[in-house]
Structure 1
Amino acid sequence: MTPTLLQPEGCQPCAIAGLGVYRPRRVVENAEIAAGLGVDAQWIESRCGIRSRRFADHDETLVMMAAHAGRAALTAAGAEASQVDHVLLLTSSNVRQMPALAPALAFALGASGAGACDLNAACSGFTYGLLYASALIGAGQARHVLVVATERMRDLVDPGDRSTAIIFADGAGAALVSASQEPGIGPASWGNDGSAEQLLILEPDFTQLDADHPRPYMRMNGLELAHRVPDLAVGLARRTLATAGLSWKDLVAFIPHQANRRLNDICAERLGLPAHVTVANTVTHDGNTSAASIPLAAHHLITEQLARPGDLAMLLGYGVGLTWTAMIVRLPPISI
């Protein structure tokens, strides 16, 4: 029997009732990326552990992918869109910027009576979304919150930039967070470091575009980020366990943001994870899908029976800004 997750006194418990994902149709192997960068496919895998990724076609918009993932999450939970009280859409790749995408997603799902807003915490967006959903439910403001992360990162990538073109990809993942009898989302740990915002930035900004710079691209200091992430992630994981009153023996899986296979391996080694804890490494075939990476990774573990609904797992997100948050959750049913 798995341990009970802590819940603040007087707050309505909640849990992830269902999980759904959407992976774009087009699979892109390293050889295709390497050809345009003047490198070989093995060099890409050695740098980041990625062998393939998915790129969205023109019809696979942020809202379209989000709607597919959202419907799958509702199906897994046995819920209807009309029951959703709030839609939280997580993305860092909405090049339209205004209006927000969440109302369009709610309309596509048939949840137009729900509250709807976008949230941008980059690669930690999904974990922040779960945190805010649990707060809404805990405060009695909602009973069902649909948290959807959707990204078309290739829209922001300079195809000639080796530091980003080999890493980023597209996809979507969604979780229906619902009021429950027993808590399925534990207390969260979080933080930020705005002094490091220049490590990954979109530039030039929209006020500086001109004939020489007709569109902005992501620019990343990958070496500095790789230097900072292990200490950040390891400290965050340890704080989260302590806050939850648990240890690794209580958990079945560690699901960090899928930024880089090498970073995942370093973090797992420093944490000294026991053999029974599965480390998600779907970055190998999904690439870095920013806010969508954690739900995609969780769905893969359950699909491949490396973890089961009801198991406890740590979700750990970190992203540009810098922002980070983590919590321990009880894994939900999925829709294939």
Structure 2
Amino acid sequence: MGALPVHISRRLLAAFAALCLHGAATAPVLAAPAAKPVAWKAVPSVDLAAFNKDLEPGKLTMDVVIYMPSNFDPDFNKLTLEQMLQGVRAAKEIYRPTGVQINLVAVKTGAIEPRFLAIQANEIPRVPDTEYINMYQGNTRHPSELTGMALQAFQSIIEPRKDSDRTIYLIGLQDVIMPFLDRSDARNWTVKMVRTGGLSFPSYSYWNTIPRAYRGAITIDNLSTASRARRTIAHEIGHKVMNVSHEYKETSPAHEVYADGGLMLYGSGEDIPSGAAGRWHLERLLMSPYLYRLKSNGTKQWNPDYKDGGHYYDPLYGDKVVRFKGTPNMDPNW
């Protein structure tokens, strides 16, 4: 049989290439293995009754569970169980002036799947903040989304329990990486990856994107310095229960704000201010769906839940919000 004409052979090659590409595009992607539940065990050395002896019936209370892996890598030295417990003790002190108390419900340890010792928290953001709307409005339009690995980690780590969606879970891990968009020049953004010491997965950012059973998750990775040991847990809980970003009085929210004064800034401050001048931090805390009062019959009277998924301007907060403009951070003549 003679050679095929050139134009026919080219058509055959093109068809074959298209078939190969189609096959590659439609081939099933191997899914990550299903996450197995961790076999947690209570830490017998922790006396919960003694730890919680400060609790008073009838006062606003939040429930906290600690999950501490027993299989950290040998070279990891940023977090210990004692540091986690000390952080909760410090948080008790920091929140005490507000009338809110912390009930440590359980402290558990166990071997987690090694692939979950380090996770990427959220998918790479698609749309950066601009000056046209403020950060909270931008978060509602384009909320953060959990990565598949983060969701699987929470499914494996967080046990089913009554009031799971009202409980704060402090989860010890080695690394939780958060990608974000940062301005690189007059009209461009670049993707950066930050290594977090703690991450709260707050609803003002993850609006309607975290399953209810896991919405109380907070990861803790580094309590190795005096400042981190004292403030990190209280600060991350603040993101969850006040539902605000890094802000304080005249300081509008931003991804990172280093200053002293308020608990919700990066610094040494522990203040939880009230009123319009304090950006309603105290009032928002006292309205948090993560708080309850223990009634005389032993049942919990929970605060009302979010009315619209928990974004910053959720109707739950009424007028306890701040209306502010977006922040220009680029050359206006781009």
- Shorter-chain TM range is under 0.3
- Which of structures 1 and 2 has the bigger CA Rg? 2
TM-score normalised per structure 1: 0.24
Structure with greater helix percent:
1
TM-score normalised per structure 2: 0.24
